[in-house]
């Protein structure tokens, strides 16, 4: 697939990695839509990327809502003149240890079901809903090749304090392999990209000593830039023989 010709939807595209992807697609003249839950952030990101070229459309949608996703996919296709790339990027954190005992009182704090479920809803159910509706739309309306790119994480191997996030990101890798097998007959590929530490507002908001300790585990000694994640996503889109696999972009981080 030639990147200049794609019609792409980026979920969680109003900030961080997603916003960088929207900008990079706009730069090459592609038609790109994105969604996010914050209307003001969507408007700002749309205005920012629209100045770079291409066709850029922002939508307010919650990927964990079936009704939102069912409405989103045809609306995006109408706005872009079709749809052949889905990047499942939207994600959230609600970190916490499974249990934690207070040394002074002996009381036990538990990871709440609400925090478990919210992360699973956005980070795993959201990609499922988007992939399902995207694939159904492509099969029903288009003869062009298509691809789903899932943004997983190095945390899929298990990361302390992230039972919910690790489970969701591991699930995305399993789904990537399964969707590649199930959808190949329709000309739809599925791929994944797994970042390590990426320079985003969340990372930059960490205490310097905590961030430094994290980066000591990275052989390259720094976080990735969002644009470096885009390079992996672009490869997955453009290489028509790439499917069912995950690209780790983690600076050689050992897990």
> Per the structure block, which two tokens stand in for 30?
């592609």
Q: Which of 34, 128, 165, 179 is catalytic?
A: 165
Instruction: Report how far residue 22's alpha carbon sits from residue 230's, in angstroms, rounded to the nearest whole number.
Output: 9
Phi, psi of 92, rounded to the nearest 5 degrees: -135, 165
Say whether 165 is catalytic. Answer: yes
Angle at 210 between CA 208 and CA 216, to 5 degrees: 100
- Which residues are within 8 A (CB) of 84 and not within 5 positions of it... i.e. 6 or more apart? 1, 6, 7, 8, 138, 142, 144, 145, 146, 147
Say which residue the tokens 């538990």 belong to: 110
> Catalytic amino acids?
165
């Amino acid at each position: 697939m030639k990147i200049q010709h794609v019609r792409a939807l980026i979920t969680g595209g109003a900030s961080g990695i997603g916003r960088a992807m929207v900008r990079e697609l706009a730069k090459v003249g592609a038609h790109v839509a994105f969604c996010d839950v914050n209307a003001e952030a969507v408007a700002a990101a749309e205005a920012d990327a629209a100045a770079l070229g291409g066709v850029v459309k922002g939508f307010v949608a919650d990927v964990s809502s079936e009704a939102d996703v069912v409405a989103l996919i045809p609306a995006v296709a109408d706005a872009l003149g079709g749809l052949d790339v889905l990047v499942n990027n939207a994600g959230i954190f609600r970190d916490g240890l499974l249990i934690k005992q207070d040394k002074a009182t002996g009381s036990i704090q538990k990871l709440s079901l609400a925090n478990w479920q919210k992360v699973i809803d956005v980070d795993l159910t959201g990609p499922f809903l988007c992939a399902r509706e995207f694939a159904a739309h492509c099969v029903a309306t288009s003869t062009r090749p298509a691809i789903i790119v899932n943004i997983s994480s190095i945390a899929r191997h298990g990361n302390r304090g992230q039972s919910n996030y690790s489970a969701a990101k591991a699930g995305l890798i399993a789904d990537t392999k399964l969707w590649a097998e199930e959808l190949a007959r329709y000309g739809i590929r599925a791929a994944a990209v797994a970042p390590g530490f990426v320079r985003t507002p969340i990372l930059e908001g960490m205490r310097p000593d905590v961030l430094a300790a994290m980066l000591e585990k990275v052989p390259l000694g720094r976080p990735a830039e969002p644009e470096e994640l885009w390079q992996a996503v672009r490869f997955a889109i453009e290489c028509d023989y790439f499917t069912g696999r995950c690209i780790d972009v983690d600076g050689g981080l050992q897990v």
